[in-house]
A and B are shown apart, each in its own frame.
Chain A
Amino acid sequence: MAALFEGFTLCGVVSGSARAEAALLGVEAEREEDRVVVTDCGRSVTVYKVSDQKPLGSWHVRQGQSLTCPAVWSSRSGEYVAVTDSRVIRIWKDDDTTFEKTFKATVCADVARIHAAADSEPVVLFARGAVRMLDALLEAPQQPIEEVLSEEEVIRSVCRCAQCFYSCKEDCYLYLQRFNPNSLHKYKLETGESRARPLSLCATVRNQSIKLLCLYSSGCLYQSVLSMRGTIQDGVQLLPRTLLLRLPVEDGHLSSASVVSLDEGNLAMVGVPHPSASAGKEFLCIWNTNFQTLQAAKELTGRIYGQLWSYSGRLYVPHGKALTVIPYECERSSLATALGRLQQDRSDGEQLVTTVVSWNTLLHEDTIQHQKGARGVETRQSVRHRGNNVPLAPMLRKFTVVSFTAVPSLLLLLIIRYIFLSCVTRDVEMILSGTADPELQLVVGRLASQLVSRCQSDSAFYPHHTLAQLVHTRCVCHSLCPNLLMLALEKKDYSLAQLCLQHFPDIPEAVTCACLKAFLDDLQTENLEPDSVSFMEGMVAVCKRDGALENGFSPVLLEEDSCDVNAPTTRAKGKADWLVLDMPCPVGVKKAALLNEILQTAHTDSFLLPHLKDLTAQQVVLFLQYLQFLYLKYYQDISAQAPGLRSPTVTQIMDWVCSTLDAHFTVLVMLPEARDLLFQLHKFVRSQVRLICELGKIQGSLQDLHKLKQTEDADLYSIEVIELF
């Protein structure tokens, strides 16, 4: 799982409107992890200590000069290198105060970029494609520089980690410069029929191969793997590529966007719209390419420049008028972490089957169909054209039924935008029944997200039944349709929320906590899932039975246990306290059923804790009371854990007790009304610990039974029969 943390502003960005392309020239790593070199578009280079948000040093060029490429830190020589006025290379150290007295060398061609890879000599890339090592260049600054690129080619993007850059005019080419031996490879980048243009390039080197990520303006992210040790072939080759992600792009083309690879499975993007947010908002997103899921997103205010850097666990994004630093964390993604720790293992077998579809094939098929279905595209355009003034539901419905199988996803959008509530149910049913299995997931996902977005825009529109039906297909999950659960809470549709909690394996901890909060606060609902309610009714009924203890834990133990200083008082109150084992259920049956769903959701403690802190003290006390109730019930009556019904396990209950106490311990200690609760809880837990000790002793003595088998070996003499084969 990946997470974005709270960001902070490192510095302001002064971008003239003239330079719309970029806010900064660049952010480069410095010698320490905590430092970066920021080169702004104007005339200054500043070194920041990031955690302190403090500049450590700043250098300005004289009026009339300008910086033309981002300053870099050369770890080899311990100096900064920058280029002013395209041709003057300047090199300076920390203790130089101004540019004027620093070393400079004028070269005879325009410099595009300087790269400083760790532990190697900086490399100078000229605007016409030639590449020189910095020290070789400085030995003879006026050496002739050859032209690699043809006249009409322009360098568009340069990758930091491997020496590759691409240039394009009509066609796009990728040039890959290798050192030792020096060689230059030229690859042609496919643009496809849609003439999508590469926007951002990101290269990482792993295991002797270069992994190139290329984001196209069509929203597709392709990956190409080039071997570092590959045979050298002359001529232009087509760059092999595989589609990693196909991101939804509202109006067909992205203008500026940037992608940075964070680790093997995760990448950060800026400038690509959030799949479920409304248009006009800009997000920084972390996508997981293995699971094709959105891992984290953060809204950025102000305009986006399509620039993004990542150094040592922090992302640097210029937006609006500031350069923001956002720390992130990528845990290694595996299915287990993707699904959380407590995947419900007690669900019934038949319910569990969630079809796993290869998104790649689906998406590719989609593309193919898209291209084939030229008719569909035309229709869509014409429909939209007219749709602006007339609701055309009947006609559209007809159209849907006819051509649905050909272009499903395109039409869904239209349907939901225009048809009436009453029709939605029927249409969706038809779609569901008419869709082949592997496509179902895709279709249902799009359907759900469109329905939700319509619900959000149109407050009168709320197709509860349809949404529930979609959730029941088990093809929707939270990352596919992130707003569904929140929408259900908003509309106080707790039965849908319950369904979501039951069926979504990937609910973020923040949402879980929001649900918990809502459930604890108020509740008026009728149609909860019957099993869960009947389970709670059963439990409350048990509670009303007379308090005879059934499974052998003797109260005497507790009385012995409480022989501390205030023994007399405890003894006096003892009987009453002890009967608290039969405490009444602090919440209603239905509320309890919902809380049980919360308890059974998958979660990770460390992510849960910050959100749990949002609960108010009253909510916490109520929740703890309920948890204690459950715990006591389970302890008293093993059969409370009915095997057939969905019910939280003791471990889950204990986990939540721990997390809640963890999150609110100081509050609970201060709170007078929580005092009794904590005392009782402690007392009970203490008696349980005693019990465990005793059990440990029994276990210890019974363990020796196993050793008995070996004791027969210890006989001094025996006659045995063996067989050899």
Chain B
Amino acid sequence: MGEFKVHRVRFFGYMPSGIRCMSFNERAERLALGRLDGTLEIFNFKDSFYQEKVIPGNDSRSVEAVCWVAERLFTAGLNGEITEYDLENLCPKYSLDAFGGPIWTVACNAQGTHLAVGCEDGSIKLFEILPEKIRFERNLDRQKGRVLSLSWHESGTRIAAGMLDMIRIFDVQSGHATHRMLVDRGVSGMRNHECVVWCVAFLSDLTVISTDSSGKVQVWNAAMGILSSTHLVSKSDVLSLAVSKDESSFVVGTSEGTVVQFQFLANILGGDEKAWVRTKTFKPHTHDVRALAEIGTAVVSGGLDTQLVVRPLLDKVDIMSYDNVLHKIHFPHRSLVSCAQKAGMLLFQFPAQLEVWRLGESEGRGKPGDTLFVKKNPEKLLQLKRKGEDHISCSAISPCGGWLAYSTVSSLRVYRLQCDEHVSISKVPKLPKVLRSAHQLSFSDDSSKLFAASTHSMVHVISLSQSECKHLHTFKPKSGSTEPVHLLAASKDGKWLAAANRGCEIHIYNLHKLKVPHCTVPIYGSCPTAMGIHPTSNNLLMVHADRQIFEYSIVEKQYTDWSRRVQREGLHKLWLERDTPVTHVTFNPRNAAQFMLHDTYMFCIIDQSLPLPDNKCQFYNQITLKSLSEQERLSHAHAFKMCTKYQHLLFLGLLDDESLVVVQRPLTDIASQLPAPVRLKKFAT
């Protein structure tokens, strides 16, 4: 079918940040995840674990605890502030200083009326939740020593607080501590160290579960203030705790990377007397498990090794399906790389900086399987540090390599880039006022226009020229949706622009007729993860989080025949079961019927002229095809040409000279940059 020259790039030093905390919203089935660098991510568990929203971090903000209150999201951090987020504009809405020093924990009561935060100075502060803000109500009795963990009783009248060496139970009404339960410091060598109660959970039957730094999980009777049982699960800290909704089981995470499940089981089969029993141990991580959530059928865990692991609890799973197998999420579900196809340049986006690289050149031609001699090495042209404290949320480089733009939540900057003999960069002054920040940036194919997706699903069109930048128009969706736009695609002929937002809407605008939006693609229930407009036929190709592929004819305003055929015949089971979303679409200029998709573990070329694979035929058939003769290949070939040679893909693009660029980030490279784990598993230990 074709040979490709592949630039295999591994010099993108992308380093995800460790996971600090998480909170699962059961009603919306969304998981909010706080990372060490202050980034917040929201995963939609209904939609194939798609990373729906990312709120970029800020150097001055830390996220120590995250908490859903209905559909509102609050965090608190060591900067002493409680922050609520605007989930439509993906930025903090407001921050409120609690005046208690660094905040370690935040908890909301079951009624959703009050937030309690635990502070460094030993105070527990109650905040009343009002429709648009929160308001300080009062302090509970202040104690000595920091408050590291809090849990409300479901009645809302008591709070358990985990402190140093002790757990206290507070009566919310009076604010007094009613019980004081001392936690043992553990083995004799540790006597001098304080025992930190990392987590507490207050169950409805007045049981308190605590985990602490000496490796214990303890179950307390809060009504009497006595210890019921102790389970030693680790030699080091037990850092996280999550209780299932029905309170029949809980999981704890240790700093050795293990997750241990406990279940409330009858001592004898069928008996009435129940006890907490340690049942399962997983080791999903290599480092501290800092955050845990139990979501009914699975345990979600995250830690310093940066990956998010969704491990199914098979005893609670009835039918095996895509949703209840083990998932590991390593990479963001959006592209951090953009490619200047004409100039052979790559732009890498880090939270704090941008890097521009020029690809190398090879000498001669080779046959398939060869590694060519690199005549000219890749070259790092530029490293651009961002201004301000906000992390970069999106960036783009123009196809000609002459323009570069990035945005944070507070500012958007466009640069003119000249790389002849010397690299020079100049900031474009006097940007139009409308360009305050963007969720997504994109350049037109001829590099004459910049598209910036802004608040309320608006897309600004800016014309770029040497002399000035002019705001041409702002597209607004007819639907009035306020969800942020996360994908932009412009057609090669400069006529069409497609914008997809997190509300699964895809709007198509005509750049020649600015006044009226052209049309809206029928809404599909799953969020689009990648899209592109075909360079010749102007068909819009969309891939959704559930890996369905649609092709929509912009001109005819309807799905194409191929798209209907795909829907009629269905996609192959193995395709639908792939673990990571497709994050990029490109088209093969050599063959109009072919386009390329990639996810983390493969890229594939889909040939629309070939028959679709049915579930009976071999899906990964490249090796088989290789062994066949030319004629036989035709009869065995199907539309999906999968290539799994390149793993851990962050990006796959096609340059103008028709060579491919793959950007890989091997997990071993990420792991090698992590700090040493607490304990390494050695053979026979």
Q: Which residues of A line the B interface, CB within 8 A?
A: 712, 714-725
Contact = CB atoms under 8 A, between A and B. Distances in A.
A725 B626 contact: yes
A92 to B, nearest CB: 35
A720 B2 contact: no
Contact of A724 (B362, B365, B366, B641): B641
A718 B7 CA distance: 6
A721 B366 contact: yes
Contacts of A717: 7-11, 360, 374, 377-378
A716 B643 contact: no
A372 B467 CA distance: 116
Contacts of A712: 371
Nearest to B668: A714
A150 to B, nearest CB: 54
Given A715-B10, A716-B10, A716-B11, A721 B641 contact: no
Most A CB within 10 A of own CB, among B1, B10, B378, B645:
B10
Interface string B370-382: 1110100110000
A700 to B, nearest CB: 14
22 contacts: A717-B7, A717-B360, A717-B377, A717-B378, A719-B8, A719-B362, A720-B6, A720-B8, A721-B4, A721-B5, A721-B367, A721-B372, A722-B4, A722-B643, A723-B1, A724-B1, A724-B2, A724-B4, A724-B643, A725-B622, A725-B625, A725-B633
Contacts of B371: 712, 718-720
Nearest to A725: B625
A226 B559 CA distance: 63
Most A CB within 10 A of own CB, among B6, B367, B637:
B6
A719 B4 CA distance: 10
Interface in B628-649: 633, 637, 641, 643, 645
A714 B1 CA distance: 29
Given A724-B622, A725-B625, A719 B1 contact: no
Interface of B is mostly: mixed
B412 interface: no
Contact of A719 (B372, B622, B641): B372
B119 interface: no
Interface residues of B, number: 34
Give 4 closest A-B pairs by Cβ, nearest first: A723-B368, A725-B625, A719-B362, A716-B11
Contacts of B378: 717
B370 A721 contact: yes
B272 interface: no
B3 A721 contact: yes
Most B CB within 10 A of own CB, among A716, A721, A723, A724:
A724
Nearest to B378: A717
Given A719-B374, A721-B369, A725-B625, 7 more contacts: A715-B10, A716-B10, A718-B372, A721-B3, A722-B6, A722-B643, A724-B643
A716 B346 CA distance: 15
Interface in B379-406: none
Interface of A is mostly: strand
B641 A725 contact: yes
A719 B7 contact: yes
B355 to A, nearest CB: 13
B498 to A, nearest CB: 28
Interface in B422-474: none
B605 interface: yes
Most B CB within 10 A of own CB, among A716, A718, A721:
A721
B11 A721 contact: no
Contacts of B641: 724-725
Given A717-B360, A717-B374, A722 B645 contact: yes
A720 B372 CA distance: 6
A725 B1 contact: yes
A239 to B, nearest CB: 45
Contacts of B7: 717, 719
Most B CB within 10 A of own CB, among A714, A719, A720:
A719
Contacts of A722: 3-4, 6, 368-369, 643, 645
A722 B374 CA distance: 16
A724 B605 contact: yes
A719 B375 CA distance: 10
Contacts of B9: 716-717
B637 A725 contact: yes
Contacts of B369: 720-723
A723 B3 CA distance: 4
A724 B1 CA distance: 6
Nearest to B4: A722
B360 A719 contact: yes
A719 B6 contact: yes
Interface string B518-559: 000000000000000000000000000000000000000000
Contacts of A716: 9-11
A197 B625 CA distance: 66
A719 B376 CA distance: 11
Interface in B218-237: none
Nearest to B628: A725
Contacts of A715: 10
Interface in B592-635: 605, 622, 625-626, 633
A525 to B, nearest CB: 54
Given A723-B368, A725-B637, A718 B2 contact: no
A718 B664 CA distance: 12
Contacts of B367: 721
A282 B4 CA distance: 82
Nearest to B2: A724
A723 B378 CA distance: 23
A720 B3 CA distance: 10
A242 to B, nearest CB: 40
Contacts of A719: 5-8, 360, 362, 371-372, 374, 659
A720 B1 CA distance: 17
Contacts of B645: 722
A92 B6 CA distance: 88
A722 B8 CA distance: 11
B669 to A, nearest CB: 9
Contacts of B637: 725
Given A717-B377, A717-B378, A723 B2 contact: yes
Contacts of B659: 719
A709 to B, nearest CB: 12
Contacts of A720: 5-6, 8, 369-372
Nearest to B669: A714
B576 to A, nearest CB: 22
Contacts of A725: 1, 622, 625-626, 633, 637, 641
Contacts of B372: 718-721
A626 B310 CA distance: 64
A281 to B, nearest CB: 57
A714 to B, nearest CB: 8
Nearest to B375: A719
Interface in B641-678: 641, 643, 645, 659
A42 B1 CA distance: 91
Nearest to B636: A725
A395 B440 CA distance: 111
Contacts of B643: 722, 724
A511 B374 CA distance: 72
A355 B330 CA distance: 62
A712 B371 CA distance: 10
B133 to A, nearest CB: 50
A617 B377 CA distance: 78
Contacts of B605: 724
Interface in B54-80: none
Interface in B1-25: 1-11
Contacts of B625: 725
Nearest to B603: A724
A353 to B, nearest CB: 36
A721 B368 contact: yes
Contacts of A721: 3-6, 365-370, 372
Contacts of A714: 10
